[in-house]
Structure 1
């Protein structure tokens, strides 16, 4: 896989170096204050992450990363070095990531070392783990709603950072003072500078550009234009690869009258990649798949009374899946046959505050799916109810009860043989369905401390997984390797304790959970652990203001190892040795733990110029966490099978970044 290949190459560099408007009704804006809360919980239970307040959290190679920050929250499980994550027992592809209402289909750079999103270009991030508003749909587990910065309407600003392997620069200011603004943010890594001329690696880097423009047409109408372009490049001596996203959105916000507001969004998203590898004769073979999405969303916010708000609208998306000029040797129907899909919905939501103690938020989404595959069209209608009760039984003590149904018509398949690094998007004949119930409690102890606890249960149907004992390759027929109509279940307890003010701030999160699947044909039809099932998952994040100039930050992670399948024996067939594996995902990798530390020095600056240095150490005590297992024949004795364990980093990783703003 491209992820594995890229991680291995990236790892070799550093190992060598060391050894030598609410949904506008709910959240109209993120207010910038001197005292900010890193995480704010809404009435729906969603968590809003303030970009600036988490800027000092230590991260890999010093690159501020909002997606990696989400992985420190309860209910969110990931593997080391990956931007993909599981939310409440769901698969990685069950998370909907939106950038200004446009879907982003691949949220990582360099195989997961960095996320797609340059935090300098972002205003806010909201994570819905359960109670999504009806205006969101198409995924089973979560919504990550990301909003871009608007740009300054009155003056020009420059900011950026220079690090060991990447640099970034942002420029924002007025187009017409007081009436329109822009912001442009760009980022590039220079990992390729570490490689010598005789290395197998010719190019290894990524770059991305965010650009937004805002136009205030009059006091009641405004237009927001947002674009993103990102690209990864991995060129080896015998293969050329690139992959990336193109995203664009156009929003028209209008105040129709004192009680009615309208938002119209047009979006476009493309995820494409190109791989060129030699075939059996040594001739180059190019594969250039792509997926396009065109979307329209019309949303209305109707303020019936001060305590009663209606949110309703419609949306529609059209997907095309295409692989032009596909070589004849590739048999996969998923790549050969042009496919398309319509995903549409009507929705309505009612937020009603009954009194000072009790509020109810309920709604309904009618989703309509029409999927075309191999000339066959399948259409489905699904009702998706959403319901949340909030009751403050004692001052600053609130109970929350929620129920959500979601459907998902799109799944992602990964090739597993390492031959061609491709994520394949499959429009399923029948959408998967998830029903979730959650019960939460929030206690605000005072202005500084807050405690949250939540239990959840989720059941899923229409899931898919690979058959046991098959090698998944894009060169073969992937459809024959899949099993359909699987079931899933996930349940757990999430705890989050926060300290929001003072010299010491941060949070502690803990998740106790279980995630399983059941598919006829796997493990004899018995339930088995999902790949990212982790019984225990603990994270501690802290920031301490040591002095006027210095601050210290730390992040500690401790979790159960991910589920793996181990061989139980071997057998001979036609002179070849084959492994016989036990029950799927019935074993565990070792316990995972890691501590990251950073220190930030903010120099005394002028009124206009601000500069700071951040020094970080990732995995400070050099824990050798293992995330992958490989099985292969012994080179000297083919009767023996070698087992190797691998991880992203074997030793601590230092970083230095200089940040500036003027």
Structure 2
């Protein structure tokens, strides 16, 4: 509470003198003239002295002296907008940017949405342009935003083909993934080989791996904030593509020209269709495909109001005849209202729905049963941005979400001998208040300070348990529907500071506390569709992370290159791991009895050298890191490697625009093998081999490395029609990287044989993409 009082008093002191100055406020929205999309992060400046950026809805506000000025707006791939303005009262200036001729020629490309902001206190954040996503070669030619951010420092992939993320030592569930503000609980298709995000439907992607702003909360490691395209309100635009395993189509256009628009984007794989061509019934009866659908409507209701309605539906289906099937998918919906109260006060109100579920069907002989699990969220958000003056930009609001979790239900079908089993449903009410201010203290010193107050209420109905030190249930407490079981109240301070050493370099530091109340239990080293989500209970406490970071940033050679170096230390509380021999995937309702709790730490050093413009663009990233846990009852109570611990992680990404017709790309990755638990010995029990395990995660998988190549050939480039062929070769030199290593006895029983399974070698692909408007 003292921190909140300090925040408010500091803010009042900083803004007190602003109203005495004889100034006016200009504000407005920056859009693309071509399609009416709002432009996020455009730089708005007056006389080169007063500068700001558009927010995530394209809105800006700037306080300037009354009189005549030179007004300019800049953003990548758009021609700079320059005008002389005369303002003597608060005014609205809306801007439509023209596509630059250089961008239309596609000869000079850009790897970053703009030069890094040396003055901004924000650190540990990366924006990825969709142009970059479409150029980086990936598995089977599927353009994949999550695969691209895995090539950035501090962000590690979950393995070959996997879409899971490990960010600065965090586990896969410690990343908040948002699509138009709705939570996506499983961002993968086909067991992680592809992500749920269709690049044709995405407008902006920003990942925060440190120094998260106060409006974000609920996860310890990172926030991936993805915003869908609004839809073209000028012309009908149709684009799509056909590849080896999938096809996609994107349609957008005006409902009322210049005032409202729609977007529909769909994608489906057809691997299952190839299976049906086989004459072998054991193959043609199998199922293997996914589909996803993005849709959005947006309406400009007046000069000060805008309404958005967006939704996502994605589903995966896998099956082996009538013996086994696995279905999983996400559904999200967001209704969002932007309102401009005044030239300095901007409001966003959102109603949000999110759902994730999976269903497994198994048939063994005469027995047949289904397993079902689900998590559903209903959420409301209200946020305000107050542009107090040119030195203070205040953001404050509230968030409230109701979570319903069905951890697992087993239902017998027909005359099955299995008994129906249902783990208890869990309910919770998740609330947060937050406020932050970005303060330009001097021309060189800027700070962002804020606080987030989170209150997580555990609700009945159901039974809750008390355990002894050995995990045995000592008491059971029953609660009625909507009765409060326990409320966890946490204060999460946020602080970031930047100091500009020269016009070309700066240093930054940040501290952030994050709290997480939703936890995922997994029996694999990467995210799986069948992982269980659990909420905090009277036994499972909220996970807490305190992260400290320090960085140095420099623009080189006129901004054509940039160098970022960041180091971090993360202190973790209430970390969760399994007891030795635990099995949480049982009918036992007291899941907590299979878990142990302790602390963790993660620290590392990240380097990023990026070339931003020219025919050759790309980056080199390197991460040196360590991630450990210490939990009594595991590894003799000593520190041990977390599963996601990797010492070295390297990525080299290059994109080359040869001419208007041809562009090429390549990426090479290397990382230390994951920490794993292998047997240290074996013994015989009744003639059967049993393995003996000692140190938790004390061994390593073999080191991983891979080269991917890509090329794009422009077939036709007309004013209203364009088409291209994209080629890629995944794992170009055929490295057999280990996916799984298992152990078995040799034929004579005297030796133990390690068997390695690898997934991909030399995976070529070709796809045809087109665009019509």
Residue in structure 1 matching 2:437, options 343, 350, 357: 350
State the TM-score, normalizing by the size of structure 2.
0.79
Q: Which moved more, 1:379-388 or 1:465-474?
A: 465-474
Which segment drifts farther, 323-332 or 171-180? 323-332
Residue number in structure 2 paired with 1:371: 458
* 2:282 paired residue number: 199
Q: TM-score, normalised by structure 1?
A: 0.92
Runs (5+) with no aligned partner, structure 1: 1-20
CA contact (8 A) 1:330 1:474 kept: no
Give the counterpart of 1:38 among 104, 112, 117.
Answer: 112
Which residue of 295, 312, 335 corresponds with 1:211? 295
Counterpart in 1 of 2:337?
252
> Does 1:406 pair with 2:534?
no
Match of 1:518 in 2: 630
Determine the structure 2 residue equivalent to 1:233. 317
Residue in 1 aligned with 2:389?
Answer: 305
Q: Is contact 1:416-1:472 (8 Å) kept? A: no
1:601 matched to which residue of 2? 713
Aligned to 1:454: 566
- The 3-state SS of whatever aligns with 1:69 is helix
**Which of 475, 491, 499 pairs up with 2:603?**
491
Q: Runs in 1 of length 4+ with deviation above 6 angstroms?
A: 21-25, 328-333, 637-640
The alpha carbon displacement at 1:26 in A equals: 5.6
| Structure 2 residue aligned with 1:572 | 684
Deviations 1:150-185 (A, max 9, x none): 111111000011100011100000011111001100
Quote the Cα distance in structure 2 between the aligned partners of 1:324 and 1:453. Answer: 44
What is the CA distance between 1:307 and its match in structure 2? 2.1
Among 654, 673, 686, the residue aligned to 1:561: 673
| 1:70 matches 2:169 | no
Note if contact 1:558-1:591 (Cα within 8 Å) is conserved in structure 2: yes
CA distance in 2, matches of 1:74, 1:464: 26
User: What residue is the counterpart of 1:436 in the other structure?
Assistant: 547
Please state how far the C-alpha of 1:192 moved relative to its aligned partner: 1.4
Which of the residues 170, 183, 194 maps onto 1:103? 183
Distance of 1:80 and 1:363 partners within structure 2? 39
Contact 2:579/2:596, CA 8 A, preserved across alignment: no
* 3-state DSSP of counterpart to 2:186: coil
Q: Does the CA contact (< 8 Å) of 2:76 and 2:113 recur in 1?
A: no
Q: Indicate the RMSD between aligned Cα atoms, in angstroms.
A: 2.4
Mark the runs of 5 or more structure 2 residues left unpaired by the alignment.
Answer: 1-39, 43-52, 59-74, 79-102, 104-108, 465-484
Q: 1:381 aligns with which of 474, 482, 489?
A: 489
1:638 is displaced (CA, Å) by 7.1
Q: Does structure 2 conserve the Cα–Cα contact (< 8 Å) formed by 1:611 and 1:659?
A: yes
Deviation at 1:50, TM superposition (A): 0.9
Q: Following the alignment from structure 1 to structure 2, what is the Cα–Cα distance between the partners of residues 640 and 421? A: 36
Q: What secondary structure sits across from 1:68 in the alignment?
A: helix
Corresponding residue to 2:170 among 85, 90, 93: 90
CA distance in 1, matches of 2:256, 2:382: 28
Q: Does 1:130 align with 2:241?
A: no
Q: Decide which of 388, 397, 411 is 2:505's aligned counterpart.
A: 397
- Give distance in 1, aligned partners of 2:406 and 2:202: 31
- Distance change >3 Å, CA 28–CA 325, structure 1 → 2: closer
* TM-aligned CA deviation for residue 615 of structure 1: 0.8
Greater displacement, 463-472 / 591-600 = 463-472
State the shift of 1:315 in Å.
Answer: 0.3
Is the contact between residue 443 and residue 451 of structure 1 (CA under 8 Å) also seen in structure 2? Answer: yes
How far apart, in 2, do the equivalents of 1:315 and 1:331 lie? 41
State the distance in 1 between where 2:650 and 2:431 align: 39
Map 1:513-662 onto structure 2 (within 5 A): 513-632=625-744, 641-649=752-760, 651-662=761-772
CA contact (8 A) 2:111 2:618 kept: no
1:633 positional shift: 5.6
